[in-house]
Amino acid sequence: MDRFLINGPCKIKGTINLSGSKNASLPILAATILFEEPVEIKNLPNVKDIRTMLDLIKSLGFIVKKNKINNSIIIKKKNIKTFASYSLVKTMRAGILVLGPLLSKYKKATTSLPGGCLIGARPVNFHLNALGKLGMKHCIKKGYIYANAEKGLKGSTIKFPKISVGATENAILAATLAQGKTILKNCAIEPEIKIDLTNFLNKAGAKIKWIGKRSVEIEGVKKLNSISYSVMADRIECGTFCVAAVISKGEVKINGLNPKIISTELKLLKKIGAKIKNFEDSILIKGPKKIKSIKLLKTKEYDGFPTDLQAPFMALLCKANGKSVIQERIFENRFTHVGELKRLGAKISIIKNKAIINGNSNFEGAELMSSDLRASVALVIAAIVAKGNSIINRIYHLDRGYEKIENKLRKVGVNIKRLS
């Protein structure tokens, strides 16, 4: 089982080019089920979740070919099956995203209940309720969802009781080929949805229009046209490298993302002392000599502070001057990295969904255990500035969402090795 060896402390300096967004790629790949003609997807990140989704697409009867000329993927319909097996969906919650497109295009689907990181409850009832209002009938037996829409899906007005990224994506995908007009309210508005998924589908001939901050109108169409599309850069990867630069008192230029997309995170980093220059699709960030604490940082749905960057920011605030508090409001089990950060020397206590971080920690290298994707990268960030060697085990979690992170970090001055 692979692990990382990091010898710190390291100061980061140089340039990093971002990979494509995992969280944008997954619903776009699910959307290819809606097409009759071939679809070309560019800038897919080479990470485990994407490889799993491509395997899932193949298992449904599509041909997936790699175009070596421009490193893109071409997906073409062949012999369609409507069964998504547990073996492919168990490691990745995004597997549920094939349900909406299969129902919309083929009027039936059987899919396993999804898996993923054990960071808290992510019930599928929001998905099922929304698809039910579009005309789906379903039952759940032995861990599988058996669904059908014999008369086809029909447009409806749906208000989500709680903001849900996955349910919003699934409903948009299902409504794209549904009969009539669908209006979705209280939607998730992450850029991976409101910008990338919407642009991808509209470019192919869909009729999707955002009519308010969290409302979207979808006029169903009969078919989608063959297209070539490049996925946006990964904003969570960008935020991760920004944090790494700041905690190491380094200076990094990060290429590939419009800074406006992560304006909330950049404002926070400026607040704690970072110097930041924004360009059209790049960010120049320099860490301060002294990191300032944050009185209270709450995770929130976009355009608030993302839960996916909570763990990296916690590692950063361990080095701040004074006490900080982070309140996790999205997932109830997303503090699994706290015990491992303590092994490095962090001073953190947990009260319900709040982490109280006493700063000025002197990190010393230790052997650590990854527990989920974002927790893994927080340990990497902390180990970068720890004195001596750190071993980070179970980095298969990290490989789910970061493309060759050790290579990128090595190029900007981090002493990191992958051990098998």
Question: pLDDT by residue (tens digit) across 225-263?
Answer: 999 999 999 999 999 999 999 999 999 999 999 999 999
**pLDDT tens per residue, range 18-44:** 999 999 999 999 999 999 999 999 999
Kindly report the average pLDDT of the chain as a whole number: 94
**pLDDT tens per residue, range 388-399:** 999 999 999 999
pTM strictly above 0.85: yes
Q: Mean pLDDT across the stretch 103-128? A: 76
- Helix, strand and coil content of the chain, in percent to the nearest 5, comes to 35, 30, 35
Q: Is 187 a known active-site residue?
A: no
Closest Cα partner for 315 from 359, 277, 350?
A: 359
| Sheet order of strands, 137-141 included | 83-84, 108-112, 144-148, 137-141
Closest Cα partner for 91 from 115, 113, 57?
A: 115
- β-sheet bridge partners, residue 81: none
- pLDDT for position 189: 97
- pLDDT for position 121: 39
**pLDDT tens per residue, range 274-316:** 999 999 999 999 999 999 999 999 999 999 999 999 999 999 9
More confident residue, 142 or 265: 265
d(CA 33, CA 75): 9
Residue 114: pLDDT band with limits 50, 70, 90: confident
Structure tokens at 157: 């007005």
More confident residue, 341 or 331: 341
Tell how strand 297-298 and strand 323-327 pair up.
Answer: parallel
Query: Is the pLDDT at 116 greater than 70, yes or no?
Result: no
Highest average pLDDT, of 37-41, 64-68, 79-83, comes from: 37-41
CA torsion, points 16, 278, 274, 353, in degrees to nearest 10?
-80
Query: Is the pLDDT at 420 greater than 50, yes or no?
Result: yes
- pLDDT for position 415: 98
- Residue among 10, 117, 238, 318 flagged as catalytic: 117
- pLDDT for position 67: 82
Residue 330: pLDDT band with limits 50, 70, 90: confident
- pLDDT for position 236: 97
Residue 353: pLDDT band with limits 50, 70, 90: very high
- pLDDT for position 222: 96
- pLDDT for position 122: 47
Residue 380: pLDDT band with limits 50, 70, 90: very high
Neighbours of 236 (CB within 10 A): 21
Longest dimension (CA), the chain: 64
